[in-house]
Structure formats: structure tokens, C-alpha cells
């Protein structure tokens, strides 16, 4: 992290400035209230970043983007969502550049890496009209093959993001996508992830899981199952020893416990996380409703504008003084991608900001180049529009949608898509009458959804985000040799502002352009240190 010595006005309330022992990292903050507890010792660093490049699923904040940001001394965060599917699609596309194979070669379980390669790697890539192979669906009792894939895919993404520098890298998960949590976290930890960030739910049980997995001990995670009855077993189980025993791998390596940052949208949730989590919460990302991706819904009964966007009121305003009083390091997110907003956040007592939208359109992000280009062009010409869609996401949260012809933001494109649910990351777990657990998604075929006890009114306006998100990063499912899944880009309200990162005369920009623009507001201007 880089943060210059300078004006006391920039120093977050409740912190003291400590000279950094590291060359180029000019200072770090030590939180006076929680110093011993909150000091982070990850991958040789014990300071928090000022800028967190927010995790962007699925695959948008890939290892390449996170590596670029972390190399420059801020926190790069890979998205951990659906990495199992992303790894196998990259392999089926021939693994251009050989990066997936490089990551798998470093994976501590060579036999698992070999199994994955022989099942999915296609030298030269699959035929353009061929569909991607499917894996079994995630379930409470995961097939071993899928657990192995999750461990490996999360390892590879973090390993690649950390490659070539010594700075920490984070990983982001959606709490709501629960089934892959345990093996995913373990894979990321085996690769030395420095921070775990989680929102879209209340991740009270993640800190305790991190404590257990750091010691390679079995971990459990309570699933949210609609209709579960008292006495039902709703726990997920994962035992790392199952993978070390009887394997040709060396002994389990000592692991660092990653810092855990909870992503929340209110001081009430922030308090809940700090008071009720089953282990240490190292900080909070406070995300406003202007942020890209999923947003918290308004409190109370949902009311919509004439255009159909949720109306937020005074009760939804974030109480910064209450958050500051909690004493934990915090970062502000949602419209903080400018030097003045960074200054504002620091003045409010934040350690820094989390920024997504500005990074989603950098050269290093994995968003398809044509989508990036079209939306940068719209921003440049003043035509960029973001719609907060209260219905699109099967997760049930409002979802920000960048308006772009040819994508599923377009009603005609949506209408032409047959309803199919074959990825199911966002599906809901429901208890069936016989006690078994079924998965249902309000974007799946209507009759199927109804047959699982779903209500027709819950299906209106839902979109298959899982397939769209794979299409966004260039791995669309193809059916019948010709139907290609359409993309659906999410971006925050700041989409309208991204052209400011373009260097003079350029039509693209990089993560370094974003970081130097943001930090230019911090005086004296810090020198970004490429390490």
C-alpha cells in the first residue's frame, strides 16, 4: 500500500501514523483502538490499503487485474464467484498463454491437477460452435470431483494474481453462493490469499471458518435452506485432511489467516458483523446503492420510480458516525472512484475506498473488449446509462445494469432467450416435503420452478445472470451449435464518469491510470511503487 506522509487532515480518526519499515511504502496506519487485534500480517505486509479494487464477478476482476493493482501497492481482489466453471472454460478454450496450466503446475495436489487437465484441457481450444462441458451441480453433498475443482480453481486464481510481486491479494465471494464456500476458501488460502471479502448476505460464520482452515482443520458452514425445519441437518462439511491423506503431496504448508472484511450497506449490519461473527472481523467495506453489481434493497415496502427503479429514502442513508464509532478500519464503496470522493472518505474516518466500476473497464479486466469499448464510448459521448433493476437478479437484490444494445439489457434480446438454468450459482436451496434439498431459480423454466413450490409472481423480470456473466467474460454457453448466450453488463452509477481515466488521445485505460488518477488527490502525490 502506498500512502504518503503529509497533511494530518487526511489521517483517519482514531488512527495514528506509523513510519513504514518498507522502502517505498511511505507510511502505514495503525488503528489505536484495535492495534494488536487488527494488525494484518499477510504475505509480509502489515498495513491496510487505501484503495481496494473491488471484487467483480464473475471473472471480471480476474487474476490479471488483481495482479496489476496489487503490484502497484493497493489491494487487487479476484472474484471468487464461479471460479470452478471459469477455470474449466478457460481450459476448454485452449488456455491461451498457458496461465491455467502454470497455476495448476504449482497446485499442491498434482494428481488433482492432472485429472482436471485430462478432463477439460483442449489443446488449441474447442470448436467455436461446440458447447462447454458441464460439471455436476453443486449440492450439500458435493461430488468429490467438484470439491477438487473448487480448491484448484481458487488456488490458481490467487496464485496467478500473486505471481511476480510480494504484495497482498484479496478474494471476494458472495455469501449467498454458499455451496462452494469451504473448498473455495481453502484453495485460496493454500495460494496465500491475504484478504477475504464477502457481501451479498451476512457472513457471520466465515471468520471462524478461516480460523479452522488456517490450521487445516475440518470446517462447517450453515446453509440457508428455505423451509428448513428444526432438526434438519443444514451444515456443509469440509475436511482438508481428506485431501492430504493418501495423496502424493508434501505435508500441509503453514498458512496465514487472511484478513476478513465484511461488505455491508448499513451501520446496523456493520454492528451485527462486529458483535456476532464467530471470529475476528478485520474491517468493513460500507457499500452504497450507487455501486456496481448487486445493491442492498431499500428498507420497508419496495416502491419504484416511474422508470421502475427502487426508491431509497432517508432510512437508507448510511450513518457514518456510528460506523466510525465501531472502531474497525472501514472503506467506503459506491461512487468513490474519484480523487475528491477519496478525500471525502478519508475525512469521514475511512481507511480508504473500494472501487469497482472504474476498474471494470481497464485493459486488465476480463470483461469482453467489445463491451468495454462500447461502454467507454457511451461514457465519452455522454450516453452511458445504468438502470437499477429490482427484478433481474435471481438473488432477489436490486442489480445495476449498464444499458447496451445487443446485451440482455435489451428487452428483445431477453425475449429471444429460452429460459434455461444450467449453471445455478444463484439458485435457492429449498426443503422438499420428503426432507431432501432441491435447488430452484426464478429464472429457470416456469413449470419447473412451480413444480418446486415456487410462486409465478417471483419469476417476472428475472434474468439468467449466471449465463450472462459467463458471456460477459467471453465464455458464453452455446446451444444447438448456434444459440449463443447474450451478455448483461453490470456497472455502478459512476459508469458515466469513466472516460476521465483515458489518457489524452487514448481509447483505453489501465489499472495504473485509475490508481494514479485517484491518488493524485492525496497530497503530496504518492509515488506508486511497482514492486
Ligand X SMILES: Cc1cc2nc3c(=O)[nH]c(=O)nc-3n(C[C@H](O)[C@H](O)[C@H](O)COP(=O)(O)O)c2cc1C
End-to-end C-alpha distance for the chain, whole angstroms = 11
Distances (CA, A) of 485 to 120, 317, 373: 21, 37, 20
Q: Which residue in 116, 185, 188, 263 binds ligand X (CB under 6 A)?
A: 263
**Given the C-alpha cell 496506519, which residue does it identify?**
29
Taking the complex as a whole, the smallest distance from the CB of residue 453 to ligand X amounts, in Å, to: 28
Candidate residues 207, 258, 335, 442; the one interacting with ligand X per rule CB under 6 A: 335
- Residue 188 CA to residue 437 CA, distance in Å, equals 28
510 vs 188: CA distance, rounded Å? 26
Omega within 30 of 0 (cis) for the link into 333: no
Q: Calculate ∠ Cα 340-342-347, nearest 5°.
A: 95
| Residue 454 interacting with ligand X (CB under 6 A) | no
Any idea which residue has 458516525 for its cell?
A: 321
- Asked whether position 199 contacts ligand X by CB under 6 A, the answer is yes
Pick 172 or 477: Cβ nearer ligand X: 172
Residue 329 sits in the site that holds ligand X (CB under 6 A): no
Q: Kindly indicate which of the ranges 24-32, 228-236, 285-293, 370-378 contains the residues binding ligand X, using the contact rule CB under 6 A.
A: 285-293
What is the Cβ-side half-sphere exposure of residue 84, based on CA atoms within 13 angstroms?
Answer: 25
Nearer to ligand X, 55 or 398 (CB): 55
Q: 226 near 178, Cβ under 8 Å?
A: no
Regarding 60 and contact with ligand X (CB under 6 A), the answer is yes
User: Shortest approach of ligand X to residue 292 CB, angstroms?
Assistant: 2
- Asked if 295 interacts with ligand X (CB under 6 A), we say no
Specify the 3-state DSSP secondary structure of 70: helix
Which of these ranges, 42-50, 156-164, 289-297, 427-435, lies near ligand X under the rule CB under 6 A? 289-297
Candidate residues 79, 178, 267, 388; the one interacting with ligand X per rule CB under 6 A: 79
Q: What is the C-alpha separation between 265 and 316, in angstroms, rounded?
A: 9
| Residue closer to ligand X, measured from CB, 3 or 345 | 345
The count of chain residues that interact with ligand X, using the rule CB under 6 A, is 30
- Coil, helix or strand at residue 339: helix
- Per CB under 6 A, which region of 98-106, 236-244, 451-459, 484-492 contacts ligand X? 484-492
Q: Determine the interface stretch with ligand X among 25-33, 51-59, 139-147, 298-306 (rule: CB under 6 A).
A: 51-59
Paired with 387 in beta bridges are: 401
Using CB under 6 A, list all residues that contact ligand X. Answer: 54-57, 60, 79, 81, 172, 174, 199-200, 263, 287, 290-293, 333-335, 337, 354-357, 360, 490-492, 494
Amino acid at each position: 500500500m502506498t500512502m504518503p506522509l503529509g497533511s494530518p487532515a487526511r489521517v483517519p480518526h482514531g488512527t495514528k501514523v506509523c513510519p513504514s519499515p518498507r522502502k517505498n511504502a511511505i507510511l502505514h496506519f495503525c488503528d489505536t483502538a484495535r492495534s494488536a487485534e487488527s494488525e494484518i500480517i499477510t504475505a509480509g505486509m502489515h498495513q491496510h490499503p487505501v484503495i481496494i479494487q473491488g471484487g467483480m464477478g464473475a471473472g471480471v476482476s480476474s487474476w490479471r487485474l488483481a495482479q496489476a493493482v496489487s503490484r502497484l501497492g493497493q489491494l487487487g481482489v479476484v472474484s471468487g464467484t464461479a471460479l470452478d466453471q471459469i477455470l474449466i472454460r478457460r481450459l476448454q478454450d485452449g488456455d491461451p498463454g498457458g496461465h491455467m496450466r502454470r497455476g495448476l503446475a504449482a497446485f499442491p495436489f498434482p494428481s488433482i491437477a492432472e485429472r482436471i487437465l485430462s478432463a477439460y484441457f483442449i489443446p488449441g481450444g474447442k470448436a467455436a460452435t461446440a458447447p462447454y462441458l458441464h460439471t455436476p451441480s453443486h449440492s450439500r453433498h458435493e461430488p468429490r470431483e467438484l470439491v477438487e475443482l473448487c480448491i484448484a480453481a481458487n488456488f490458481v486464481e490467487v496464485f496467478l494474481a500473486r505471481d511476480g510481486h510480494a504484495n497482498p491479494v484479496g478474494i471476494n465471494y458472495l455469501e449467498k453462493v454458499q455451496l462452494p464456500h469451504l473448498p473455495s476458501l481453502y484453495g485460496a488460502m493454500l495460494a496465500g490469499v491475504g484478504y477475504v471479502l464477502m457481501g451479498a448476505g451476512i457472513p457471520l460464520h466465515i471468520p471462524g471458518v478461516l480460523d479452522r482452515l488456517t490450521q487445516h482443520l475440518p470446517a462447517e458452514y450453515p446453509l440457508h435452506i428455505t423451509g428448513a425445519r428444526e432438526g434438519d441437518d443444514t451444515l456443509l462439511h469440509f475436511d482438508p485432511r481428506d485431501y492430504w491423506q493418501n495423496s502424493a503431496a508434501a505435508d500441509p504448508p503453514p498458512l496465514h489467516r487472511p484478513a476478513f472484511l465484511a461488505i455491508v450497506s448499513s451501520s446496523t449490519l456493520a454492528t451485527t458483523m462486529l458483535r456476532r461473527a464467530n471470529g475476528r472481523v478485520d474491517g468493513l467495506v460500507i457499500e452504497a446503492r450507487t455501486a456496481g453489481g448487486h445493491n442492498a434493497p431499500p428498507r420497508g415496502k419496495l416502491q419504484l420510480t416511474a422508470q421502475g427503479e427502487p426508491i431509497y429514502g432517508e432510512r437508507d442513508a448510511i450513518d457514518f458516525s456510528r460506523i466510525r464509532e465501531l472502531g474497525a478500519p472501514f472503506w467506503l464503496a459506491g461512487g468513490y472512484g474519484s480523487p475528491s470522493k477519496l478525500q471525502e472518505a478519508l475525512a469521514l474516518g475511512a481507511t480508504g475506498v473500494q472501487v469497482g466500476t472504474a476498474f471494470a473497464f481497464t485493459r486488465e479486466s476480463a470483461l469482453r473488449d467489445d463491451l468495454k469499448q462500447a461502454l467507454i464510448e457511451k461514457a465519452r459521448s455522454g450516453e452511458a446509462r445504468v438502470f437499477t433493476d429490482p427484478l433481474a437478479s435471481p438473488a432477489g437484490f436490486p442489480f445495476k445494469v449498464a444499458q447496451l444494445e445487443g446485451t440482455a439489457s435489451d428487452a428483445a434480446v431477453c425475449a429471444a432467450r429460452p429460459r434455461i438454468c444450467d449453471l445455478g450459482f444463484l439458485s435457492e436451496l429449498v426443503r422438499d416435503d420428503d426432507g431432501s434439498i432441491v435447488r430452484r431459480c426464478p429464472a429457470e423454466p416456469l413449470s419447473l420452478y412451480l413444480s418446486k413450490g415456487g410462486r409465478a409472481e417471483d419469476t417476472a423480470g428475472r434474468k439468467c445472470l449466471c449465463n450472462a456473466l459467463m458471456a460477459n467474460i467471453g465464455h458464453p454457453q452455446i446451444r444447438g451449435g448456434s444459440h449463443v448466450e447474450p451478455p448483461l453488463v453490470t456497472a455502478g452509477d459512476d459508469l458515466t464518469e469513466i472516460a476521465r481515466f483515458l489518457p489524452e488521445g487514448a481509447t483505453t485505460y489501465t489499472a495504473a491510470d485509475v490508481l494514479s488518477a485517484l491518488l493524485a488527490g492525496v497530497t503530496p502525490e504518492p509515488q506508486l511503487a511497482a514492486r
